[in-house]
Each structure stands twice: as C-alpha cells, then as structure tokens.
A = this chain, B = another copy of it.
Amino acid sequence: MKLTILGTSSALPTSERYPSAHVLNVHERLFLIDCGEGTQMQLRRTRIRFGKINHIFISHIHGDHIFGLNGLLSSLSLMGRKSTLHLYAPENFKRILHSHLNDFEINLSFEIEFIPLSGKDPVLILDDKYITVTSFPLQHRIPTFGFLFREKEAERNIIRECITEYQIPTVRIPAIKKGADFITHDGVVIKNSDITTPPAKPLSYAYCSDTKYFERLASFVKGVTLLYHEATFDKSMDDLAALTCHSTTLDAARTALNAGAGNLLIGHFSSRYRNVQFLVDEARSIFPDTHAAVDGTSYMVDETITP
C-alpha cells in the first residue's frame, strides 16, 4: 500500500499546495480519493498512470475536492478509455455530474458506474480480492464522507523446509495456507502453526477530510495503520474551526490518539500558513507520530512513515 499526496491545500491553493487529491496504490491498482483542480496535472507530475485508476472517491461537493473531475474525465476519454469507471460520491452528485457533462458536450468513451454515498453509519462500498473500502459520515457543512481502505488478511506462509521434511504434496498447500493442519500418510497430525508463519498484518488507510471534531469518528477508523486527517487550522483558531466545520491540529491528533492509529498525516492546510512545521509540532503534543502531508510525495502505508 502506497499513498501519493497530490494536494494539501484547503479552499485557497498556494504556489506550493494544490487542492485535495490522494492516490492509494494497492497491488498496482489505483484508488483516487478526491479530485481538486489540477489533479490531472499532478498525476502527470508524479508519473501516475491515468489508466490504472478504476475507482474515484469524492468526499463532498466542495470545489477544492472536485473541480479537477471534469478535466480528468475529459482526458481519460480523449485517451480512449474503454473500461467502466466507478465513482463514489454523495448521492446528489449524480445529477450534477450528468448535467455538467451535458453542458460541456463531453461524450465519454467509457461508462461511469455511480455509487451514491449516504447514511449516518459506516457502509461497505467496495469488496474485492485484496481490500474492502468503507465510507463513513463526517461532520461538515454539507454531506461529507471519509473512507477506510483495509487490506484483506493474507494467507499464512508455509515454512519451505517443512514441505520437504513432511513431504507435503502440492495439492495440500492451498488448504494449509488457509489454516488447515497436515496429516501425514502415517496418520500423524502436524499442527498448522508448526508448518506455517502468520501473514503480515493487514494494512489500512483512512481519509478524513473535511470535518469538525466529533468523538465517534475515532471508532470509524479504529486501529488504522495510517490516518490522514485534515488540520485546516492551528490550535488557537478553535472558533473559526467550529464556524467552518473544520479541525484544528489538536482535533486531528485527538482522533488519531483515540483511534489508536499507527501514524497521522495532516493536510488541507489553510493558505495563511506558509510553513506547516509548527502545525505538526502542535499535533505531536498529543499524538507524537504525526507528519505533514507534502504535495507530490509518496508514503508507504506501514508502521514507519518513510516519505
């Protein structure tokens, strides 16, 4: 699991920070999360192949999370895409999307499967061979959703030497990888735990933008390996955060702490901050494993953040 940050600005982009867009790479299948203005240019810059994106997740219908979508869809079409694109967005976006494609006379070369987001509880919205994706409600000025990407538990690993030692036939290996014991031709039961090692712990990534602080959020992302959480404002700006339904650095850190997250990445920074290191420092006072998201940077979603 590799996360690439395409934009870390809030509503007003700066010369160094683009609007929100993340790309999550899971076994070379790409998931685009939000699509702020300039997403397609940032994809070019980070050399991410457009064609590998089959799923786009839109958290909410504010410009800084969506103004890059028409351009990206047009480009995919010009590039001759044929395969269906799965678009997950708040339910009212379906009408808007089709009306705008119509206004700009964009005839897409591919189908869009629209998956509406709604509700007050987490909903499983994607379940495939490698991962599940759950949407969950955030608390912003309009309907807004976060997303949790969770790898499925991999199979156990057979200890290579045991195959020879117990003369395990190839045909038995799939069952053993799934946890079965092995019975030798003498009828001796070899416990699964003696001939396998457990798989690597499944990784997970959660995206929370935009939201004010609320206690239940931590339960939606419990135990996540890497939590991305917006931190639009510094800790002194509680009032403006409340007014605009955004989070401060301390709000983000508190949710990470309560969720028992492995690492916290903060972003969606207000344009008033040129240097964001002090925002990281504020968050670290509550949650030490905090890092600032940086435009154009990739992170491996494992226990240690290595940009």
Contact = CB atoms under 8 A, between A and B. Distances in A.
A61 interface: yes
A61 B70 CA distance: 13
Interface string A1-35: 00000000001111100110000000000000000
A179 interface: no
A96 interface: yes
A68 interface: yes
A103 B79 CA distance: 28
Contacts of A285: none
B44 A13 contact: yes
Taken together, the copies of this chain in the complex come to: 2
B15 A41 contact: yes
Given A13-B41, A18-B41, A41-B18, A70 B67 contact: yes
A120 interface: no
A44 B14 contact: yes
A257 B250 CA distance: 64
Nearest to A79: B12
A122 interface: no
Contacts of A66: 104
Interface in A91-105: 96, 99-100, 103-105
A233 to B, nearest CB: 15
Interface string A106-120: 100000000000000
B11 A75 contact: yes
Interface of A: 11-15, 18-19, 37-38, 40-41, 44-45, 47, 61-64, 66-68, 70-71, 74-75, 78-79, 96, 99-100, 103-106, 142
26 contacts: A11-B74, A11-B78, A12-B79, A13-B40, A13-B41, A13-B44, A13-B71, A15-B44, A18-B41, A19-B71, A37-B38, A37-B68, A38-B38, A38-B41, A61-B104, A61-B105, A62-B104, A63-B71, A64-B74, A66-B104, A67-B67, A67-B71, A67-B74, A99-B99, A100-B100, A100-B103
